[in-house]
Amino acid sequence: MTAAFYQNETKFYVAVDCIILGFDQKELNVLLYKRKFEPMMGQWSLMGGFIKAGESIEEAASRVLTDCTGIDNLFMEQVGAYGDITRDLGERVISVAYYSLVNMNDFSSETLEEYNAVWAKVSEVPQLIFDHNQMITDTLARLRRKAATRPVGFNLLPEKFTLPQLQNLYEAIYQTQLDKRNFRKKLNAMDILEKLDEKDKKGSKRGAFYYMFNKEKYDHLLEQGFYFSL
Amino acid sequence: MTAAFYQNETKFYVAVDCIILGFDQKELNVLLYKRKFEPMMGQWSLMGGFIKAGESIEEAASRVLTDCTGIDNLFMEQVGAYGDITRDLGERVISVAYYSLVNMNDFSSETLEEYNAVWAKVSEVPQLIFDHNQMITDTLARLRRKAATRPVGFNLLPEKFTLPQLQNLYEAIYQTQLDKRNFRKKLNAMDILEKLDEKDKKGSKRGAFYYMFNKEKYDHLLEQGFYFSL
DNA sequence: CCAAAAGTGTTCGAACTACACCCATGT
DNA sequence: ACATGGGTGTAGTTCGAACACTTTTGG
């Protein structure tokens, strides 16, 4: 047992909350849960959990993510710590928010029901408990910055996606319209996508070619001082 | 007394650590302290402190900043939460890092001695305790992003500063050389500086004109959709 | 045959880069 | 008089923005 160096100090409950973002071909969505315990039971909230004695913050966030999605190794990044005194109406709780980017197709409606979870368009998020709405706002700001300079957007799409899908995604992230030709020109110049022979026929009669993000190519270009930018 | 909703959960010590950055006409500097208590007493570290029961994280960071600089209302922004299990060698402590941008001239050598504090060039920071070196690294990355799009750099300079000083600052932040004429052209175009009649004669025989950041003008331009960018 | 989305190049202007000389003054 | 840093303008290039028509095919 180590000495109790800090015994005069106060201890706090520390939780993690997860902002799980998905994309449904038109808009960004966030996964919301009906809270299963007091206080505020039955209200909409983000999925969260208390940090346990033996785990780091990252581990806690990763555990919560896996527990409530059934998926491992999701893209995940810290948003920040939230610590207003009265932010939790139960007791004083400090929370560290993490956001994650997922492919909505990986969530069956059974999984969602099992967890009392629903996807909500980020433009139509209801009032959530505590400061969870603020966490979502902060996450979206962070995502906009991040997506502009790092290829994180691909986490929101299936492995195989079409260029119109990709463009819709960036339009959703930036809340703006992009020019089709300029968008494709840029991607073409970056040379980080793999064009497949296969077409997606769901979106149109003509069909759009599938592409895949080529991580090896991207990593290789990075080493040569290349910078992603969209 | 509110009900003890979460009594089965674990509580943690939560601290704040402050990365205080200054600029000395040539390079970014960070304020380091000799730690005054165990464990790791006498080692170099950032200034920090435990969060107390009655204060938010921000309030704690603000208190620590004021306590160890004697200055109120410093520019301050959260860097993130650090929570590896073994990051603190004493006991398990979660820490939230904040960085602050200060004017080094506001620190007398007496103040520094009083606190066992020294300025260290960010390029020559010694080994610090725990994950404090990492916190500084993360802060510098954050500052580079922030300084490019927000006028935060002025916090590192005296109220009155010269254009060569300002340029040196940005060169220090970005670790690159900037072209004098292009730099000035950009600033001129932004029209957020007030040119004074007074000259600073310390840097050269000829002297360089003092300028001030005009916050009113900047705020006004912001409303019109203007974006700062350097 | 037609509606609906996919795909494709060029032109223009703005913004960034590169670059060299004169100025003011303390010593 | 000279060394030192402060101050200024222009030309060339690159990058981003605007823009319209053809193709494919399921219904």
Q: Read off the pLDDT of residues A3-40 as tens digits, 9 standing for 90 and up.
A: 689 999 999 999 999 999 999 999 999 999 999 998 99
Candidates B4, B5, B91; nearest CB to A6: B91
| pLDDT-based confidence at residue A172 (cuts at 50, 70, 90) | very high
Cβ of B180 near strand C (under 7 Å)? The reply is: yes
> A52 contacts in B (CB within 8 Å)?
9-10
Q: What is the pLDDT of residue A3?
A: 64
Cα separation of B132 and B155, whole Å? 23
- Cα separation values, B206 from A198, B4, B158, B200, B201, Å: 69, 70, 20, 9, 7
Question: Would you say residue A2 has pLDDT above 70?
Answer: no
| pLDDT-based confidence at residue A140 (cuts at 50, 70, 90) | very high
Average pLDDT of the segment spanning A207-221: 96
Residue B161's DSSP bridge partners are B211
The CATH architecture to which A152-222 belongs is Orthogonal Bundle (1.10)
Contact A162, A203 (CB under 8 A): yes
What CATH number is given for B10-146 in this structure? 3.90.79.10
Contact A94, B14 (CB under 8 A): yes
Place of tokens 């799409």: A157
The contacts of residue B224 (CB under 8 Å, 6+ apart) are: none
Give the closest residue to A15 by CA, choosing from A60, A65, A53, A59: A60
Per-residue pLDDT of A59-97, as tens digits, reads 999 999 999 899 999 999 999 999 999 999 999 999 999
The structural domains of chain B, with segments of one domain joined by +, span 10-146, 152-222
Contact A85, B55 (CB under 8 A): yes
Q: What is the pLDDT of residue B111?
A: 87
Question: Would you say residue A1 has pLDDT above 60?
Answer: no
- How many Å lie between the alpha carbon of B138 and the closest alpha carbon of chain A? 13
Per-residue pLDDT of B91-128, as tens digits, reads 999 999 999 999 999 999 998 998 889 999 999 999 99
Question: Would you say residue A147 has pLDDT above 70?
Answer: yes
Residue of B nearest to A51 (CA): B10
Question: Would you say residue A57 has pLDDT above 80?
Answer: yes
The contacts of residue B67 (CB under 8 Å, 6+ apart) are: B49
Residue of A nearest to B81 (CA): A81
Between CA A186 and C1' D14 the distance (Å) reads 14
Contact B13 A9 (CB under 8 A): yes
Cβ of B80 near strand C (under 7 Å)? The reply is: no
Question: Would you say residue A115 has pLDDT above 90?
Answer: no
Q: Which residues of chain B have pLDDT under 50?
A: 1
Place of tokens 């820490």: B95
Closest nucleotide to B204: CA versus each C1': D5
Candidates A14, A56, A96; nearest CB to B85: A56
Q: Which two tokens stand for residue A209?
A: 């070619």
Place of tokens 């995940």: A76
Q: What is the pLDDT of residue B3?
A: 65
Average pLDDT of the segment spanning A134-139: 98
Between CA B204 and C1' D4 the distance (Å) reads 7
Q: What is the pLDDT of residue B4?
A: 84
- How many Å lie between the alpha carbon of A126 and the closest alpha carbon of chain B? 25
Between CA B189 and C1' D3 the distance (Å) reads 33
Cα separation of A13 and A168, whole Å? 40
Overall size of chain B counted in residues: 230
- H-assigned helices in B78-228: 109-114, 132-149, 163-174, 180-190, 215-223
